[in-house]
Structure 1
Amino acid sequence: MTRDVAENRRVWLLKRNCALSPRQSLISMGLLAALTLAIAMPFAIAGAWAVFACAIGEIAAMCGCFLRYARHAVDYDCVALTEQRLEVVQCDGAQLRRYDWNPLWVAVDLDAAHARDPTIRIRHGSETALVGRHVTLARRRHVAEELNAALAASAGDFGDTDFAPSVRQRQPEPLAAHR
């Protein structure tokens, strides 16, 4: 979590830990393709063109896998909390989804529908955002607890009025049930 003191803004960035940069991915793909062609060429020269055709098919499949990896390598979820709003931004490939909600009416828990690997479920009325699929379960639990604590602290500024229910009342189940 990062905190912008000037705006009193808290930000949770949930993204993959990419082991290879796009340039490194391209270089490694090129080296693998060159190795495959280096092995297939002697067979093609000897007259076994089927081996060369299979090598070309392997390179095409490898290119498809690398393109899929590159498309989703920079996917992320970002949750930002200020006094007036909770903003959730999700980047998935070429899609960008943005939710902008009143933090007083947001509920946060771990999605029980996926008991083995639950994501963080953020609800506001009938809208739901499932975040955290790019990070480990331990990190998801930690972020959900931090986010609930931050929402409770921001809701506490309004006291026990009827128009601002506490986060604990809005949370359907405790996070400890998923451990």
Structure 2
Amino acid sequence: MSAAPVLAQSSPKGLEWCLRRNCSITPRQLLWLYASLCVVSGGLSGFFWWHGAPFVAGFSGLELLAVGVAFVCYARHAADRERLVFDGRVLSVEVELAGRVERLEFDRSSVRVDASAAEAGALVVLQARDRSIAIGRHLRPEHRRVLGREIQSALCGQWLGRGVASAV
């Protein structure tokens, strides 16, 4: 069995967790791919139009529209991320999904980490009074438990770096 990863990084602001989607292509690269697909498809449909098959252009347009919609959906979520910063007093959580950013700040003494659901692969929930937020979307289910324990250890003042994660 391999050791569990340490997800936190030390930064000038304190302890930081930055969780991002694993995207194989950036939105800019996707735009270039779509443009080249349009050029090739347009050239082929123009060739068939010239040779007496005008319906190919219509089907080519529908195909490009469907692929374009799929690419836009992908590109909207390419920059999704979750960023947590703990400065010793306050845990700041910033979640970006499809361009919408949600920011919450939790006082160290009032935040509760519910990592029990993470044992079953669900998201880690941070709660304080009437506010809560679920995090860990971009982690494999088995690493969510590690995230919950790291946050809990940091909040309790027991952050030991690799020592916390290896106890999982």
**Partner residue of 1:3 out of 10, 26, 33:** 10
Higher relative contact order (CA 8 A, sep 6+): 2
**Pair 1:118-2:144 in alignment:** no
Verify the 8 A CA contact 2:48 2:56 in the aligned structure 1: yes
Verify the 8 A CA contact 2:115 2:149 in the aligned structure 1: no
Q: Which residue does 2:136 correspond to in 1?
A: 132
Q: Quickly say closer, same or farther: Cα 1:135–1:39, change in 2 above 3 A.
A: farther
Aligned length: 152
**Partner residue of 1:29 out of 23, 31, 34:** 34
Which residues of 2 match residues 1-179 of structure 1 at below 5 A?
1-4=8-11, 7=13, 9-110=14-115, 112=117, 115=120, 117-153=121-157
Verify the 8 A CA contact 2:111 2:126 in the aligned structure 1: yes
TM-score, normalising length from structure 1? 0.74
TM-score, normalising length from structure 2? 0.79
Shift of 1:100: 0.8
Which segment drifts farther, 127-136 or 102-111? 102-111
CA distance in 2, matches of 1:22, 1:111: 36
Is there any run of 5+ residues in structure 1 with no aligned partner, and where? 155-175
Give the counterpart letter for 1:27 in structure 2.
W
CA distance in 1, matches of 2:116, 2:21: 20
Q: Which runs of 4+ in 1 moved over 4 A?
A: none
Shift of 1:11: 0.7
Q: Quickly say closer, same or farther: Cα 1:111–1:46, change in 2 above 3 A.
A: farther
CA RMSD of aligned residues (A): 2.3
CA distance in 2, matches of 1:49, 1:139: 54
Give identity over the alignment, percent.
Answer: 26
Which segment drifts farther, 101-110 or 10-19? 101-110
